[in-house]
Amino acid sequence: MTNGMLLVNKPEGVSSARVVDQVKKIFQVKKAGHTGTLDPFATGLLPVALGRATRISRFFLGSAKHYRAVVTLGIETDTLDKTGRVTSQADPDLVSSIQPEQVRQVTAEFAGVQQQVAPSFSALKHQGQPLYKLARQGKMIKKPPRTIEIYSISVTRMDLPEFEIAVQCSGGTYIRSLAHDMGRLLGCGAHLSGLCRTGVSQFTLDQAVDLNTLHTCDLQTARTHILPMAECLPFMPLVQADTALEEKIRYGRKLQHQDIGIGTDRVAADGFIRITGSDGRLIAVVRADNNGADYNYCCVFSG
């Protein structure tokens, strides 16, 4: 059984679902899934969970993301990116009057907690239907604004009417919407013309492998690129189980504070703890109860 996380450098023009399909064929597995979609035109880091690791993929959906994004001023599209239909185009003189310092000032204003409206062309659902399907039918649905946070944002390249930004943000942030909103604030409109995801949680793009590399190597070599599940959750406190704890977990018995044996100062706000067995493999993820005395099972991998 192949279990673990594969970090893929997604190429442009391929959907995230298509990447997962290719990975399943390469590794000959039935279960696989990504931890957060990238639009087909976007490139960069796409973590793909294989086998039992699909059960820990939920811990990455809301994690911090890092992006390099290219914004082009003066043109708005219905998808808010370069793949869409042009909906408005600013006067060239207005666009050329935008100064680099204005761009830097506006960019800096987007740092922090804020409300963001998701694009009508997105995978969010309305009455059970993805918004992008409704949008293709001419039904442009706007969902209520959602709270997001931009942890850091800066201009890394300026070649107006195009500029590049580096963004670190919370899960659920739409960089297309960010580009659109920046253009509105500058008064000339804008769209996202390039996007590369460079980080997801603790994973970084330089750890990722190209699909072409996986296609051209044998299965044994391909498996060397898979991260073991025990190494995928470093943000959770680690407990190495003794024989007694392993047995309790194997039989699903109730876990109490004395079984886990770590102080409350080591438990994060979300209460999750990873437990490895004597062989170093991940055997469970548990979560502290509200009373702090008991632990509930989230995922069990022993047996």
Location of each CATH 2.30.130.10 domain in the chain: 238-300
290-to-233, 274, 285, 295 alpha-carbon distances in Å: 22, 18, 16, 9
Residue 14 near residue 40 (C-beta atoms within 8 A): yes
CATH number of 4-63+202-231: 3.30.2350.10
Cα three-residue angle 84-89-91, rounded to 5 degrees: 160
Alpha carbon distance 254, 139 (integer Å) = 51
In percent, the amount of the chain with pLDDT more than 90 equals 71
**Phi-psi label, residue 216: left if phi above 0, alpha if psi -120 to 50, beta otherwise:** alpha
Average pLDDT, the chain: 89
Alpha carbon distance 65, 195 (integer Å) = 12
Q: What share of the chain is helix, strand, coil (3-state, %, to 5)?
A: 30, 35, 35
Q: Examine the pLDDT at 18 and tell me if it is beyond 90.
A: yes
Residue 147 near residue 114 (C-beta atoms within 8 A): yes
CATH number of 65-200: 3.30.2350.10
Active site residue 39: yes
Q: Which of 273, 205, 198, 267 is nearest to 233 (CA)?
A: 273
pTM (two decimals): 0.89
Q: Examine the pLDDT at 266 and tell me if it is beyond 80.
A: no
Segment 78-88 shows an average pLDDT of 92
Pick the CATH number of 238-300 from 3.20.20.100, 3.40.50.970, 2.30.130.10, 3.30.70.120: 2.30.130.10
Task: Quote the DSSP letter at residue 52.
Answer: G
Alpha carbon distance 151, 157 (integer Å) = 19
Task: Quote the DSSP letter at residue 11.
Answer: P
The runs of H, that is alpha helices, within 137-279 are 175-186, 211-216, 219-223, 243-250, 257-260
Location of each CATH 3.30.2350.10 domain in the chain: 4-63+202-231, 65-200
Segment 146-172 shows an average pLDDT of 96
Report pLDDT for 261: 76
Contacts 24+ apart (CB under 8 A), 24-32: 26/214, 26/215, 26/219, 26/222, 27/2, 27/219, 27/222, 27/223, 27/226, 28/2, 28/219, 29/2
Could you tell me the two tokens for 96? 């050329």
Which residue among the candidates 21, 39, 159, 259 is catalytic per the annotation?
Answer: 39
Q: Examine the pLDDT at 124 and tell me if it is beyond 70.
A: no
Q: Examine the pLDDT at 12 and tell me if it is beyond 90.
A: yes
Report pLDDT for 136: 66
State the residue for tokens 């995801």: 197
The residues near 11 (Cβ < 8 Å, ≥ 6 apart) are 43, 210, 211
Segment 235-252 shows an average pLDDT of 91
Count CA atoms within 13 Å of residue 160 on its CB side: 17
Segment 290-301 shows an average pLDDT of 84
